[in-house]
Amino acid sequence: MTSQQVGLLAIQLVMSLGVLSFLGVLLLHNHESKQKYRLFAVRDRFLFLVATNVVSEKDMVFKVFYRAMNTYIRELDSVTIVSYMRASIAVKTELEKENQQRLSDALQRADPEVHAVVNEFFHAVMDALRYNSPMLSVLLALAHHCTRLWAFLRKLPRVQLPIYETYRYYEKTRVSTIPVARSIDKDLCPA
């Protein structure tokens, strides 16, 4: 290859890397926008439930989750597993035990449509966590593959090796002869 060809290949490589980087940034930005719009859709469904009188604006479930939805929409860029843990600890200290119980009871009494919206909200937040925390994605993928590997290994037939059969025979005979040995000891050595 001539030096001109090597130079052209180097230019093509640099340009290709630049284009791929640009496309990667666009894809990441698109995914972030998709998450934000998903949270907007969940919040809008929640507001629709208020408009159709399925849940009241004064209901504790609405107040807590509407505030949480707005907070997550505003702070979606910085939602990571660490920030999620900090927020969970802050919420736990902010809400006393009786308020947590009241919220749990109110959520249990709520309409199934409210349950669906709250469930969708939690799924959207978990997807945002997985997207914003690469280490969490790696751990989840690893756990998924380990679970699949364990399930596969459990389906395999067990190999019966002769040594194990000998050991099992020894264990059976040893356990069955122990009472006989004790009775012999009692006969030979009276206490």
pLDDT tens digit at each of 191 positions of the chain: 788 888 888 888 888 888 887 777 666 666 677 888 888 899 999 999 999 988 888 888 888 888 888 887 777 766 666 766 666 666 566 555 557 778 888 888 888 898 888 888 888 888 877 777 777 777 778 887 888 877 777 777 665 555 556 656 666 666 555 554 455 445 555 55
pLDDT value at position 178?
52
pLDDT value at position 71?
80
Number of domains composing the chain: 1
With respect to residue 164, please indicate whether it lies within any of the assigned structural domains.
no
pLDDT value at position 90?
62
Cα separation, 41 vs 39, whole angstroms:
5
With respect to residue 11, please indicate whether it lies within any of the assigned structural domains.
no
Q: For the whole model, what pTM was predicted?
A: 0.54
Cα separation, 175 vs 13, whole angstroms:
74
Quote the domain boundaries for residue 38: 31-155
With respect to residue 65, please indicate whether it lies within any of the assigned structural domains.
yes
With respect to residue 79, please indicate whether it lies within any of the assigned structural domains.
yes
With respect to residue 23, please indicate whether it lies within any of the assigned structural domains.
no
pLDDT value at position 161?
56
| Residue 75 φ/ψ, nearest 5 degrees | -105, 20
In the chain, alpha helices (H): 3-51, 60-74, 81-94, 97-109, 112-132, 134-155, 162-188
Cα separation, 145 vs 68, whole angstroms:
33
